[in-house]
Amino acid sequence: MTAKLEIRPVADADMAAIQTIYAHHVLHGLASWELAPPDLAELIARRDSVLQAGYPYVVAISEGRLAGYAHAGPYRYRPAYRFTVENTIYLHPDQQGKNIARPLLQRVIDDCAVRGYRQMIAVIGDSGNHASIRFHEKMGFHHAGLIEGIGWKAERWLDSVMMQLSLGPGNSKPPQAPA
């Protein structure tokens, strides 16, 4: 268990560490389907786009260093999807299994619910990513679908696992106001 964990909004000074974490996952994992890590300027532009659109973007600080980050963004860009978000979460490889992911994603979930979003979608890279699938199940997500062999990375076809979490009243009531 981590001694002290701080979850806070992302700051400019966090972006180099975020780029390092994300580059590791691009190069050594299947969670991201990018083939080459984006540079710092690109990740800053992506972060700015998330924040300008009003979505949450937070980091976890453990023992004085950035241990991971999470954010939400649009699930799709057509207007009817405006109450649905997609989550993103990445941890530094040496911070996995230290009870960081749960409070980090919970913050994003809570922030999205407060903003009036009704559904959160997790798009998990590959059906073999059992750790991410189990983590999302523990966070309350349910399986919503599987798209087989949709991506090619690491010299193999990858599946896309779709998981879903209702936020607030979910789809049991109409939305109150446009998000």
Q: Which pLDDT tens digit goes with each residue over 126-177?
A: 999 999 999 999 999 999 999 999 999 999 999 999 999 999 999 999 987 6
In this structure, are residues 123 and 114 in contact, taking their beta carbons and an 8 Å threshold?
no
Identify the structural domains of the chain with CATH numbers, from first to last: 5-166 (3.40.630.30)
The reply to whether the predicted model has a pTM over 0.85 is yes
Q: What are the tens digits of pLDDT across the range 78-134?
A: 999 999 999 999 999 999 999 999 999 999 999 999 999 999 999 999 999 999 999
